[in-house]
Structure 1
Amino acid sequence: MNTPTTAGSDDWRRPPPNPEQRRIDVYVGLAVAVTALFMVTLNSSVGQFMLGHPPSWPERLFWTVAVTLPLVWRRRRPDAVAVVVAAAFIAGQVRSSPEATMTSGALFAAIYTLGAWGRDRRRARWLRVAIIAAMFVWLATSYTINLTSLPPDAFQHAAGPVPPILAAVVGGVLVNVLIFGFAYFFGETAWISARREHLLVEQAEQLRRSQDEARERAVVGERVRIARELHDVVAHHVSVMGVQAAACRRVLDKDPVKARTALTAVEQSSRTAVDELRRMLGVLRQTDDGTVAADRPDPAGLDRVEDLLGTARDAGLRTEFGVYGDPLPLPDSVSLAAYRLVQEAVTNTLKHARATTLDVRIRYLASALEVDVGDDGRPVHPPNVNGMGLIGMRERVAAHDGVLEVGPRAGNAGFRVRARFPLTPAAAPTGGSPTDKVAA
């Protein structure tokens, strides 16, 4: 018998019935048993004994209750209930118990429940097949016994084209095939439906967890982005202010003009830091429609690298700046990432290297933008590869599928930071490679 199946269905165990379902089973089982007792009383009262001479009255009641009352436990113990009901049904028919309507319905319900609620699917299938086979064996035995004892005039009113005995056998077999087939099929279908509902609940829960994880990752990513921006903005300008303040302290008494110049640089750096922080706050205040506060400055980009190098010159460094290739419009994210990388490299030079020269080169290649920052200093301390600055550089470059190289220059003559950002074909330069070299 072919029934619907699902992949991996044998691995799933249907949960036992809940208290409400168990209560319903008790009510249904008691109602069926009471109704069956009422029916056997009516059949006995009118003398309808289709299976032959009935047993005693107490035995009739016993077999009726034995077939129907186990339905009280049908979903808690589907295997045992199906076996008990089937055995009691056959025994009752052997004893010619007159009630057949409610007991047949109880047998149908037991087979159906075994298919719908059996936790061990292999055992549930074999038990149902065995019960149905036993029923047809009993049906064949019953027909054999009854047909041999039929009186000669049993079919005297028969008028159809099919022989009476054949018609009776075929009709009885067909009815039982339909009854047991439906019980098996609907039970299997109910189990598959429960299995699918379980899978839907699992998938909904997985989707909910995935959404929660996605929201958490978004929050963490936003926190990392804000931390990176704060580090890039504050660390650079505070470092410049520290260098200028130290220079001012050293020359305050000897050279007031230089001290005034250093204080001016400190003032300018502090204003720039405030502007950068205001820009970030403007991003955080961004509304759903994409509008922000009116005082939000334009985002930083490669066009501001020369302003950045001006702070390095004010701190006493000699700077060289060159642009190679055809400058072209860049995506804002790439331009900002390149600017922040130069900014962090300049900050590290000011804070950690005893350098005199800073060399910044921007190259527009055939399919990439290359940013190269080097100095001639020697670090006071070995570079911290796990520091926030280098981590921020890696994250910015990796976000654009770029490559970052950080380390000493050839011959240990200074330190170098070089990053390459791939460009899309639409953004890649198409002209020659003129050079724009600026030195200060």
Structure 2
Amino acid sequence: MLPRVTTETAHEWRQQTETTREPQAEADDEWRRPGPTPEQRRVDLYAGLAATAIALLSLTLARSTGTFALGPPPSGVEQLIWTVAVPLPLIWRRRFPAVSALAVSVAFIGSQVRAVPEWQLSSWALFVAIYTLGAWGQDRRLSRRLRIGVIVAMFAWLGIAYMLSYSEITAETFADAVGPVPPVLAAIVTGILVNALYFGFAYFFGETAWVAARRQHELAEQAERLRRSQAEVREHAVVGERVRIARELHDVVAHHVSVMGVQAAACRRVLDKDPTKARTALASIEETARQAVDELRRMLGVLRARDGDPEGTRQPAGVDQIAAVVDRAGEAGLRATLGVYGDPVPLPESVSQAAYRVVQEAVTNALKHATGASLLDVRIRYLAQEMEVEVSDDGRATRPANTDGLGLIGMRERITAHGGQLEVGPRTGGGWRVRVRFPLPAGGVV
């Protein structure tokens, strides 16, 4: 097949191609397709050598049949050189697509100028070179310009070939023509149509292959991002579950153990002097231990429960159980009081549980760290738009508030989750105070 096209056709085809480009084309220009793998390079080497061997066979057959469509051929050695020069650069077609396409194009025009009789396989080699430049060109703008440049060069050469062969047309050339179209015009139009399809398909298939490679790359990136995102979600879920378990263990264990420690110390001091008080303290320790075990079982049941599991539906501690916490503090030796101010309103279960845990943690800290404390005052206030919980004592803190302690961290997490505010610090006149405000839901105040 001898390509026959015009520069006008190339210009029109280029305009059509540019008008069909998506706005994303500029972004596509920034992507660089990875080079061929070692296996692909080996395939190109073998394919290029095979194409060269077939081209030599085609030359041998053309010379044997005396088919010299392009005119008198050069010497046999020159024919061999041009025949090898056209398909051989295909061995680097994916590794160096621009160099390979230029080499094939120059060799193709040279073989045409020298009227080498082998042009069938050379035409396919040119097609493959243009296609590969479109499919594997690293720089998209350069790739497009080179392909358009090659096509324009082919058009220019073919125009020259038409002009050179026009003087050789005689009356006998189209002696058998019977159609309505003038023979010369019909030959030119046929060449334009054939070569428009030839170069159009080479360009189109190259672009399609490159777009497919880019889409595959994007899918691979999306899959990798999804995999990393899923891994992060799993990791965050594990960390969140660990934090939740640690917070629950701290809230459940620390309070009861602290109460038992204070009661055990009181029992030790009065064991010999007042056995009755010692027995009362031991009974309180026993009851506190039983409550701690019950809460641990409840917590473990919630952690292990699945959807629909009865163990997971057990109601957690809430504001209604704050009185029990205050009573245990009284049993530990403090003069503990509980005051409720305002009209109680129904609270969301999560807010009620958070308030209970705050009081439990504050009482635990008072038992552990408030030296010389004799009074513990717990107050719950139902205001117009919020509920306030305050726990204060009259002792001396043995150390400053540890902002990194697990108890305060858990307290802040619970309060922040409900949009509340936390105040922790020394109280005017001595002692320590923990004050929390939870906003009440709209319409929640009775």
Same fold (TM over 0.5): yes
Instruction: Say whether 1:224 aligns with 2:236.
Output: no
Contact 1:275/1:297, CA 8 A, preserved across alignment: no
Instruction: Say whether 1:95 aligns with 2:99.
Output: no
Q: 1:264 aligns with which of 275, 278, 283?
A: 283
Contact 1:283/1:292, CA 8 A, preserved across alignment: no
Q: 1:332 aligns with which of 343, 349, 354?
A: 349
Amino acid at match of 1:405: E
CA distance in structure 2 between the partners assigned to 1:324 and 1:167 by the alignment: 104
Give the structure 2 partner of residue 283 of structure 1: 302
Moved more, 25-34 or 273-282: 25-34
CA distance in structure 2 between the partners assigned to 1:226 and 1:29 by the alignment: 66
Give the structure 2 partner of residue 419 of structure 1: 436
Query: Percent identical across equivalent pairs?
Result: 63
Instruction: Say whether 1:158 aligns with 2:177.
Output: yes
Instruction: Say whether 1:373 aligns with 2:380.
Output: no
Instruction: Say whether 1:119 aligns with 2:138.
Output: yes
Contact 1:282/1:292, CA 8 A, preserved across alignment: no
Instruction: Say whether 1:387 aligns with 2:405.
Output: yes
CA distance in structure 2 between the partners assigned to 1:424 and 1:174 by the alignment: 77
Displacement, 1:10?
Answer: 2.2
Q: 2:271 aligns with which of 213, 234, 252?
A: 252
Give the structure 2 partner of residue 309 of structure 1: 326
| Equivalent runs, 1:22-421 vs 2, <5 Å | 22-287=41-306, 289-291=307-309, 298-353=315-370, 354-409=372-427, 411-421=428-438
Query: Could you report, residue by residue, the CA deviation over 1:143-167 in whole angstroms, capped at 9, with x for unpaired residues?
Result: 1111122223322222323222222
CA distance in structure 1 between the partners assigned to 2:137 and 2:238 by the alignment: 46
Structure 1 segments, 4+ long, off by >4 Å, are: none
Amino acid at match of 1:420: R
Moved more, 374-383 or 332-341: 374-383
CA distance in structure 1 between the partners assigned to 2:386 and 2:60 by the alignment: 95
CA distance in structure 2 between the partners assigned to 1:375 and 1:251 by the alignment: 24
CA distance in structure 2 between the partners assigned to 1:98 and 1:262 by the alignment: 114
Displacement, 1:181?
Answer: 2.1
Displacement, 1:84?
Answer: 0.6
Moved more, 55-64 or 262-271: 55-64
Displacement, 1:12?
Answer: 1.7
Displacement, 1:104?
Answer: 0.9
Displacement, 1:292?
Answer: 5.6
Name the SS for the 1:371 alignment partner: strand
Pairs aligned (count): 426
Moved more, 336-345 or 375-384: 375-384
Give the structure 2 partner of residue 438 of structure 1: none
CA distance in structure 1 between the partners assigned to 2:442 and 2:47 by the alignment: 74
Amino acid at match of 1:35: I
Give the structure 1 partner of residue 11 of structure 2: none
Amino acid at match of 2:399: H
CA distance in structure 2 between the partners assigned to 1:183 and 1:325 by the alignment: 84
Displacement, 1:93?
Answer: 0.2
Give the structure 1 partner of residue 10 of structure 2: none
CA distance in structure 2 between the partners assigned to 1:305 and 1:389 by the alignment: 17
Cα RMSD between the aligned structures? 2.0
Amino acid at match of 1:259: A
CA distance in structure 1 between the partners assigned to 2:429 and 2:225 by the alignment: 53
Note closer, same or farther for the CA distance 1:97–1:367 as it changes in structure 2 (3 Å cut).
farther
CA distance in structure 2 between the partners assigned to 1:412 and 1:179 by the alignment: 96
CA distance in structure 1 between the partners assigned to 2:353 and 2:289 by the alignment: 20
Contact 1:285/1:292, CA 8 A, preserved across alignment: no
Amino acid at match of 2:30: D
Amino acid at match of 2:126: L
Query: Could you report, residue by residue, the CA deviation over 1:116-143 in whole angstroms, capped at 9, with x for unpaired residues?
Result: 1011223222211211111111111111
Query: Could you report, residue by residue, the CA deviation over 1:179-221 in whole angstroms, capped at 9, with x for unpaired residues?
Result: 2122122212211211111111011101100100110011011
Amino acid at match of 2:207: E
Moved more, 191-200 or 63-72: 63-72
CA distance in structure 1 between the partners assigned to 2:46 and 2:147 by the alignment: 25
5+ residue gaps, structure 2, are 1-13
CA distance in structure 1 between the partners assigned to 2:56 and 2:439 by the alignment: 86
Name the SS for the 2:379 alignment partner: strand
Contact 1:312/1:319, CA 8 A, preserved across alignment: yes
Displacement, 1:247?
Answer: 1.1
Name the SS for the 1:175 alignment partner: helix
Displacement, 1:308?
Answer: 0.8
Displacement, 1:367?
Answer: 4.0
Contact 1:112/1:186, CA 8 A, preserved across alignment: yes
